Amino acid sequence: MSSERDDLGAALMDDLSFLLARATAISMSAGNRALTPFGLRVRSYSVLATCADGQRPTQRAIADYLRLDPSQVVALVDDLESRGFVQRTVGARDRRSKAISCTPAGREVFVGAREALKEAERTLHADLSPDERLALSALLPRLAFPTTSE
Amino acid sequence: MSSERDDLGAALMDDLSFLLARATAISMSAGNRALTPFGLRVRSYSVLATCADGQRPTQRAIADYLRLDPSQVVALVDDLESRGFVQRTVGARDRRSKAISCTPAGREVFVGAREALKEAERTLHADLSPDERLALSALLPRLAFPTTSE
DNA sequence: TATTGTTATACTCTATAACTATA
DNA sequence: TATAGTTATAGAGTATAACAATA
């Protein structure tokens, strides 16, 4: 071991893309592990989260927000719907669209899953100071939702 | 349009994992696009970067540093080697290991690729202030190389 | 016995294109 | 014509297990 960090790839250490990718890999790995007891993965959890607070987003809105292709959302909603966590409802005004709503069962699993995720994140970022965490909470949204049209 | 950001998933907006994942997706997409002219992808570029400055890391060291499975490194090095960008050399002391070294051709393509990546990143993060960029450069390594053993 | 690289396999994720039904 | 959802498919990334050569 002895810290691979300093030894290799000096060129990569000031590469925000690389750092983001590595941080995300660690985070997703821990997240998926934490969500396993709930039968969810980071991906399906995030879909559930878009409707868990009582909103009824269309699949298109979910796709845009999560930055997924609409066809991926189909599969994710299929999965969540087959387990009774969400429901599709044909749009009233626009009958092409489907509003996704969270069932009580979905809401329940979401609440537990969210706690498990938060706990995993706490463990993972235990060595960050409150200030650092605050700074990240302010900075990451800038990267995740850039004004520059991707 | 009209900013999907505020509308959906309030639960996700304070979720560092989600923000990381979304930022990474944007960054990787832009990175892969920028690297296309060089016949590289973010993944193969990062392997090249570990030896481009003249170091000769083993595949195992590369796997640890990039957080890849050793079997993935095999495929990536195969690809880079087949195009003459890197070379495998059997380790002198430990004949099990293979030192990966960068060829002049590899070095050349790396330099161009690195510039293209930096340029893409500049465009993507154009709306960040120098202070914000500095803060990210300090914070992201903390997430990418946590002291907590993953 | 343990480790490096390798092969193989299966699964997840990503990216496209095309189709349907509505608008 | 254009858009929401869907289906299908191929390619890239991830995760495991097992094996040969070497330590």
Give the per-residue SS3 of B90-109: ECCCCCCCEEEEECHHHHHH
pLDDT value at B148 more than 80 = no
pLDDT class of A14 with cuts at 50, 70, 90: confident
Query: Tokens 């250490």 map to which residue?
Result: A13
- B29 close to A150: Cβ distance less than 8 angstroms: yes
Across the range A69-96, mean pLDDT stands at 96
CA A8 to CA A66: how far, in whole Å? Answer: 33
- The pLDDT value recorded for residue B55 is 93
Weakest-pLDDT range from A7-21, A133-147, B74-88:
A7-21
Of A29, A50, A140, the CB nearest to B23: A140
**Geometric angle at alpha carbon B143, from B142 and B145, rounded to 5°:** 70
- DSSP E strands: which ranges in chain B? 86-90, 98-102
- The pLDDT value recorded for residue A149 is 53
| Residues on chain A touching B56 (C-beta within 8 angstroms) | none
For residues A83-98, b (16+ Cβ closer than 10 Å) or e, as one string? Answer: eebbbeeeeeeeeebb
* Region of residue B68 (phi > 0: left; psi between -120 and 50: alpha; otherwise: beta): beta
B16 Cβ under 8 Å from any chain A Cβ:
yes
Give the pairing of strands A98-102 and A86-90: antiparallel
- The pLDDT value recorded for residue B150 is 46
| Residues on chain B touching A3 (C-beta within 8 angstroms) | 145
- A102 close to A47: Cβ distance less than 8 angstroms: no
Query: Which contacts of B37-41 are long-range, i.e. CB under 8 A and separated by 24 or more positions?
Result: B37/B116, B38/B109, B38/B112, B38/B113, B38/B116, B39/B83, B39/B109, B40/B109, B40/B113
A74 Cβ under 8 Å from any chain B Cβ:
no
- The pLDDT value recorded for residue A3 is 44
CA B1 to CA B10: how far, in whole Å? Answer: 17
Across the range B15-39, mean pLDDT stands at 95
Write out pLDDT tens, residues A108-127: 999 999 999 999 999 999 99
User: What are B45's two structure tokens?
Assistant: 């570029």
Write out pLDDT tens, residues A130-139: 999 999 999 9
Contacts of B14 (CB under 8 A, 6+ apart): A137
- The pLDDT value recorded for residue A5 is 54
| Residues on chain B touching A52 (C-beta within 8 angstroms) | 11
pLDDT class of A147 with cuts at 50, 70, 90: confident
* C-alpha closest to that of B8 among A108, A93, A73, A38: A73
Query: For testing the chain B interface, which of A7, A13, A18, A51 should be mutated: the one with the most B CBs within 10 Å?
Result: A18
pLDDT value at B3 more than 50 = no
Across the range A70-87, mean pLDDT stands at 97
- The pLDDT value recorded for residue A77 is 97
- B28 close to B34: Cβ distance less than 8 angstroms: no
- The pLDDT value recorded for residue A122 is 93
Q: Kindly identify which residue of chain A lies nearest to residue B46, measuring between CA atoms.
A: A12
User: What are A149's two structure tokens?
Assistant: 């049209």
User: What are A23's two structure tokens?
Assistant: 């941080």
Write out pLDDT tens, residues A37-69: 999 999 999 999 999 999 999 999 999 999 999
- The pLDDT value recorded for residue A60 is 96
The integer distance in angstroms from the CA atom of A117 to the C1' atom of C20 is 39
Q: Which nucleotide is nearest to B57 (CA to C1')?
A: C4
Note if the pTM is more than 0.75: yes
- B31 close to B113: Cβ distance less than 8 angstroms: no
- A72 close to A62: Cβ distance less than 8 angstroms: no
DSSP label of A14: T
Q: Which bases of strand D have any atom within 7 Å of the beta carbon of a protein residue? A: 3-9, 12-18, 21-23
